[in-house]
Amino acid sequence: MPVCSIIPFYFGRCDKSLFGCYHEPHPAAKRASGVVIAQPVGHEYINSHRALRQLAVLLANVGFPVLRFDYYGCGDSMGEEDQATVSQWIEDTSTAISELRKRGNLNTVCVIGLRLAATIAVLAASVQNELAALVLWDAIIRGKDFLNEVRSLQNERMRCRRKPTKRVEASNMTRDFLGFAMSQSLSQSLETLEIPAFFRPAAKEVLVINSYPQKTESESYEHAVQSGTNTEYKQVAAPKIWEGTPEGTLLVPSQILRLVVSWMLHKNL
């Protein structure tokens, strides 16, 4: 094994390059499928980076080639936050799947998405050739709920600090969402974004994970079971890692990471 088993690189269209980290699989245990890990957006991306990196390392250690990537306008990828769109993120997921297929010389790919990335993964799966598996970790069923959550956190954050003399947005068409610029068009797309009832993600196996009791829990379960695919639903008590903590620590929910790895091994992917 080389000293550095993580290869950071840029891929995709030159005018919309995406940043990714390719985690080489353990050579003694290379498996047939690769795994794309799609990371959340905005503040949730920062807070869950450590956990998703750890997940990628665990999967690579048991033989999965893994590509963990940032959407356009997020993380290290090209573009500014207010240039991002939902359709661009769906395209980015497809680009990452193709890149992993090419890089790992693989026929089958699984996608793991956390929060909004899980929602995007469902939409991307429908335009991809059938995926081997889809792991939806605390997927956002309705974009509107996500926007409300962020608005409420934004209000809480601004409550105990001096307000700027003049509220300055990046432009008239952009809103400040917890320090990230969100364009009006993205906000409008999220308002209407929804994982439809009875969705049938184009994946052979689906794992739905809910890590905290939520009002959409039963809905999510219903979605999963009625989708008609080979779907499993798991409720795991774990912190909302994407929210961060007041002390600024980044949480790694080992019980969920272990669950995902053992499920993928069990399914013989």
Under the binding rule (CB under 8 A), the answer on residue 250 touching other proteins is yes
Structure tokens at 97: 């799947």
| Shorter beta-carbon distance to other proteins: residue 11 or 199 | 11
Give the per-residue contact string, 141-160, with other proteins (x = CB under 8 A; - = no): ----------------xx-x
Largest Cα–Cα separation, the chain? 60
Under the binding rule (CB under 8 A), the answer on residue 53 touching other proteins is yes
Residue 144: other Cβ atoms inside 10 A: 14
DSSP three-state, residue 97: helix
Which of 26, 30, 50, 234 is close enough to bind other proteins by CB under 8 A? 50
| Shorter beta-carbon distance to other proteins: residue 175 or 223 | 175
| Shorter beta-carbon distance to other proteins: residue 167 or 215 | 167
Residue 150: other Cβ atoms inside 10 A: 20
Q: How many Å from the N-terminal Cα to the C-terminal Cα in the chain? A: 23
Burial-class residue 260 by CB neighbours within 10 Å (0-12, 13-18, 19+): buried
CA 104 from chain center: how many Å?
21
Under the binding rule (CB under 8 A), the answer on residue 24 touching other proteins is no
Distance CA 61, CA 264 (A): 13
Under the binding rule (CB under 8 A), the answer on residue 239 touching other proteins is no
Residues 59-88, interacting with other proteins (CB under 8 A): 74-76, 78-79, 81
CB 37 within 8 A of CB 112: yes
Which of 155, 167, 215, 268 is close enough to bind other proteins by CB under 8 A? 167
Phi, psi angles (nearest 5°) of residue 175 = -115, 150
- Kindly state the smallest distance separating residue 165's Cβ from other proteins, in Å: 7
| Shorter beta-carbon distance to other proteins: residue 34 or 244 | 244
Under the binding rule (CB under 8 A), the answer on residue 163 touching other proteins is yes
Comparing CA positions, the residue from 114, 91, 119 lying closest to residue 12 is 91
- Kindly state the smallest distance separating residue 93's Cβ from other proteins, in Å: 19
Distance CA 138, CA 245 (A): 18
Residues 170-189, interacting with other proteins (CB under 8 A): 170, 174, 176, 178-181
**Binding stretches for other proteins (CB under 8 A):** 3-4, 6-11, 14-15, 17, 19, 21, 43, 46, 49-50, 53, 74-76, 78-79, 81, 157-158, 160-165, 167-170, 174, 176, 178-181, 246-250
